[in-house]
Structure 1
Amino acid sequence: MVVGVGGVTVGAEPGAGQPDRAGTGRVTRREMTRGLLASAAALALAPLVAASRPVPSTGMPTGTSFDETYRGRRIHGVLVPTEGRAVGGGEWQVTVDGRPLHLMRRADGTWLSMVDHYSSYATPLAAARAAVDEIGPGQRLRDLAPGPMGGGHMHMGGGHGVRA
């Protein structure tokens, strides 16, 4: 540090020789202008940054249906709207080679099939592909068993009526 005439330091760090503003709580016009310009620039760039980000995935295939051939099997799925569900909700009806594959939505938003009900998949299409992998090349999905989903009468055994 070099001391010049009148006790003012010369050749020292920038701002040396000026009164210390720490603790005064004052903001200069230059600092205020910089802050306002930085805020205006951030507001102007926000729409550009938001538009450049990818759209978050909903976990659903695009659209309300899919139809593809996977490993030689035809997978077809259609989202059927159901009453009482949230907007965009519904039930997926999926078939593999024309036979129904039952899917179920889990609480975390993933899907499982009745063929492979120990694993979860992000989309109904992914669950159907995994079911095809599990079925294997020479096998087919079974027809529906009689019951509420198959349209027949579900018989649980025992007689019809009360026995004493």
Structure 2
Amino acid sequence: MVVSDSGATAGADHDETGAGRPGRARGTRRQLLRGLLVSGAALAVTPLVVASRPDAPTSDAAFDEVYRGHRIRGARTTAGPALGAADWHVTVDGRPLHLMRRADGTWLSMIDHYRSYDTPLEAARAAVDELGPGERLREPAPAHPEGHRGVHA
């Protein structure tokens, strides 16, 4: 290593201000290691922070409530047609309310099918809102003796 009259080191990777040469890494191995450790610690703590937050209403929780004079009940059922998918059995005053899951994860009902809702409970409440005073859902159509419903050609 050669030191000039001005005190600068000849052949060093840093100039007098401590900045590195263009095209060279500017941190030390210690700084790099510290950055990796901090990032790793943040990743390790994230699940704990998320778990400590208050639970937001999810679409997985069963419900049983009276809303505007109508009893709304809903429970998640076993796997639906798609692997890993779940269906919901929702009733309003004991009569089934059919819900559909949209591709974006929201829900709509057959009563109010112009708007989507974040949870099955929200969709059921909206369906009750659409019912007039004293109105109830219709009874489901009787099943065909062979198990088919509707018109088939």
TM over 0.5: yes
What's 2:11 paired with?
none
Cα deviation for residue 20 of structure 1 reads 7.6
Find the aligned partners of 1:126 and 1:60 in 2 and give their Cα distance.
9
Find the aligned partners of 2:48 and 2:149 in 1 and give their Cα distance.
55
Contact 1:73 1:96 in 2 (8 A): yes
Find the aligned partners of 1:53 and 1:118 in 2 and give their Cα distance.
34
Cα deviation for residue 18 of structure 1 reads 7.3
Across the aligned residues of Structure 1 and Structure 2, the Cα RMSD in angstroms comes to 3.7
Equivalent residue for 2:42, pick from 45, 56, 78 = 45
What's 1:74 paired with?
71
What's 1:95 paired with?
91
Cα deviation for residue 134 of structure 1 reads 0.7
What's 1:161 paired with?
none
With over 3 angstroms needed to count, the CA separation of the structure-2 counterparts of 1:35 and 1:139, relative to structure 1, is: same
Cα deviation for residue 128 of structure 1 reads 0.4
Cα deviation for residue 57 of structure 1 reads 7.8
Contact 1:146 1:152 in 2 (8 A): no
Report 1:13-162 matches (<5 A): 21-23=20-22, 25=24, 31-53=28-50, 60-62=59-61, 65-82=62-79, 84-87=81-84, 89-146=85-142, 154=150
With over 3 angstroms needed to count, the CA separation of the structure-2 counterparts of 1:46 and 1:137, relative to structure 1, is: same
Find the aligned partners of 2:18 and 2:94 in 1 and give their Cα distance.
85
Identity between Structure 1 and Structure 2 (%): 42
Q: Which has the larger radius of gyration?
A: 1
User: TM-score scaled to structure 2, two decimals?
Assistant: 0.69
Q: Structure 2: 5+ residue runs without aligned partners?
A: 9-13
Contact 1:59 1:110 in 2 (8 A): no
How many equivalent pairs are there? 139
Cα deviation for residue 58 of structure 1 reads 10
Find the aligned partners of 1:66 and 1:16 in 2 and give their Cα distance.
68
**Structure 2 SS opposite 1:81:** strand
